[in-house]
Structure 1
């Protein structure tokens, strides 16, 4: 029960800190503010402003792409479930050595067996390809949105406040 409350507190603090920058969908997809930047300096300025302003929305995009990547790469999903589930099962159900016939099985033996099976399975699931796809797809979506979306009027006032 204590673990449930700890997880709930962690989720609450994550929501308060990371998702505090979440903006409404109507503001995020405002088609009236989409325009091509005049030059590279304006594009860089827009990217700088919008990545801070829409940080919560971009976190949700990255999370959705990560879930999509896991669901489409079933081998990676199975490997991760096997390794994480095996680690949890060994910690929960086999904290002490036990006898099987005339052999004593320890946690070290169980972890060795888990990793001998799980690491090659993880290797064949191409986690690095999935990770690189996730980074590339996230960067493409986020940088395109941040570059094409004009900052609102509030960004002009933010620069005045910083100077004063």
Structure 2
């Protein structure tokens, strides 16, 4: 039960910090603010401003791409579910050693069997290539969006303090 409380704390903190910065789709996809940067300095300024302004939206893009990558690679999904589900089931149903015939099966033995089966399954699912695809595709989308979107009017007043 302790894990559930911590997980709900993490989710609520995530919701307060990252998801509260989500901009509406009308602002995120505003085609009137798209333009080519004048030079590299302008592009760098745009990337800096837009990654802060749209950080919640960019995180959502990464999460959607991750879900898409896992759906496209069903073996990876099976391997992850097998390892995670096996871990949960072993913790829940086998905390104490069991007697099966004349053998005693401990939790350590079950974990070893889980990893002997699960790790080769995970290896064949090619998680490294999926990870690099996710990093590359999200970087192209995020940097492309950040470079092409002009900063809003509020960026002009960002460094100024009120009276």
Normalising by structure 2, report the TM-score: 0.95
Partner of 2:23: 23
Q: Aligned with 1:150: secondary structure?
A: coil
Partner of 1:77: 77
Partner of 1:135: 135
Partner of 1:105: 105
Counterpart Cα distance in 2 of 1:135 and 1:37: 24
**Residue ranges of structure 2 left out of the alignment (5+ in a row):** none
**Residue ranges of structure 1 left out of the alignment (5+ in a row):** none
Counterpart Cα distance in 2 of 1:114 and 1:3: 22
Matched ranges for 1:6-155 at <5 A: 6-155=6-155
Alpha carbon RMSD of aligned pairs, Å?
1.7
Q: Aligned with 1:160: secondary structure?
A: coil
Per-residue CA deviation, residues 57-116 of structure 1 (Å, 9 max, x unaligned), is 001000000000011100000000000000000000000001110000001110010000
Q: Aligned with 2:99: secondary structure?
A: strand
Counterpart Cα distance in 2 of 1:11 and 1:89: 23
Per-residue CA deviation, residues 114-154 of structure 1 (Å, 9 max, x unaligned), is 00000000000000000000000000000000000000100
Q: 1:96 to 1:2 in 2, by over 3 A?
A: closer
Question: Which 4+ residue blocks in structure 1 deviate beyond 2 angstroms?
Answer: 1-10
Aligned residues: 163
Tell me whether 8-17 or 96-105 shows the greater mean CA deviation.
Answer: 8-17
Q: Aligned with 2:51: secondary structure?
A: helix
User: 1:2 deviation in Å?
Assistant: 6.3
Q: Aligned with 1:104: secondary structure?
A: strand
User: 1:7 deviation in Å?
Assistant: 3.4
User: 1:13 deviation in Å?
Assistant: 1.4
Counterpart Cα distance in 2 of 1:124 and 1:2: 34
Q: Aligned with 1:99: secondary structure?
A: strand
Counterpart Cα distance in 2 of 1:114 and 1:5: 27
